[in-house]
Amino acid sequence: MTKTISTQTKGLKGTLSIPGDKSVSHRALLLGAIALGTTEIKGLLEGEDVLCTAQALRKLGARIEKRSNGLWAVTGTDAFKEPESVLDMGNSGTGVRLLMGLLAAYPVTAKLTGDASLCSRPMKRITDPLSKTGAVFETTDGKLPITMTGSEKDVPFEYTLPVASAQVKSAVLLSGLRKKSPTVVYEPVACRDHTERMLKAFGADITVEKDRQGVNVITLRGGKKLTACPIVVPADISSAAFAIVAALITSDSEIVLPDIGINPLRTGILDVLLEMGADIAFENKREIAGEPVANLRVRSSSLKGVDVPAEKAPSMIDEYPILAVAAAFANGETRLNGLAELKVKESNRLQAIVDGLTRNGIDAEALPDDSIRIRGKGNKACGGGLIEANLDHRIAMSFMVMGMASESPVVIDDVSSVATSFPEFISLMNKAGANIHDYRD
């Protein structure tokens, strides 16, 4: 397979349009698929992950089409039908886990699978709580492929999240939509709340309150039919993070990123980069369809190492690979804490981060407490390594960014996974001044 090489560049410039938020895109399709009427979605991410969710929902009876004006239209179905073939969710952990939650309340049987990476990821964190609602799951090892049969059993259900996971929280909430009895989720550590926000937009009866211990108590009173509504998907902060770090670590750079989602439960990466000394300006702050957004102006910066506490992880779990690259170009030591969840992502990202940095001349190590220590080299020479992406889009993009600021080029063995979340990444960065292209030995 053709490899990809990223070489040093200076002066990233321009206004870069970042694709729509993947988390919001999945949820817009899923809720639109069961709502009365037709939901129009502007800015839907057209990456492979989201398109797999759309195709699965079509097999279940929803009508989903892209119109000539770029809007996506989703006409909901009152009752899912049993799919005639396997629901292939590709590489999407969000898509498959949320879909299992939605299907848990429908008396249909469906088989779900995915690519090699997705089939290696744990699903018991979803199937265990959903089994308590009456859904039945057949699996050999707690992973995909899984055959599930939903249940119309109507009983109150309460669940305390054992880990800060928006996917688990969302799956449990979605399983309660058709039940008149309440579904209550206790959330000791707050994580992204796109599902709660969007459920309100579609007319669900959902409340979020704090108890005396500061725990979020999320109560969904189901049995109310959702109603279609227009959705505008903000630009994805997780995708924007690659362009942000690229501009920070390359010299003479200044870029503008319009309409970036700045949901406070998603912006840990911005908080940490600002603490490191990043020059990031927030312009034209506003709200779109219930989600806060802003235009970000990013300029080259001299970064310093910081200690990132474990409490930050829920608000930036997907951004640690690119944050690690920023730390490699910072002055001083950075420590990233509370990274156990990275071991069960598209790849073992914790190890992939350390391996990638080490191969490119950076002193980095994984510590026994699931943290990573990185001794940054400032703007000193590094690079020259070959990265094994292991079908992980965020690892592939992070080390393409590293190559942009390294004296020696960085080579990535396979960047095909980038299509799952940011298909235009290479062309967009090259247009801004990067030099990323195919490479043959």
> Rounded to an integer, what distance in angstroms lies between the CA atom of residue 47 and that of residue 424?
9
Phi, psi dihedral angles at 63 (to 5 degrees): -105, 120
Q: How far apart are CA 441 and CA 430, in angstroms?
A: 22
107/276 Cα distance (integer angstroms)? 51
Judge contact between 32 and 41, C-beta under 8 A: yes
User: Residue 236, Cβ neighbours under 10 Å: how many?
Assistant: 25
Joined tokens for residue 251:
């010299």
d(C-alpha 417, C-alpha 113), whole Å: 17
Whose CA is closest to 296, among 62, 60, 41, 18? Answer: 18
Chain centre distance of CA 362: 27
Longest dimension (CA), the chain: 62
DSSP letter, residue 235 = B
Handedness of CA 35, 36, 42, 46 (dihedral sign): positive
Alpha helices in 230-313 (DSSP H): 237-249, 268-275
CB burial of residue 430 (10 Å; 0-12, 13-18, 19+): middle
Catalytic residue among 49, 193, 318, 355: 318
**Amino acid in the structure at residue 109:** T
Whether residue 318 lies in the annotated active site: yes
Name the amino acid, one letter, at 241: A
Alpha helices (H) along 108-177? 124-131, 166-175
Query: Catalytic positions, please?
Result: 318
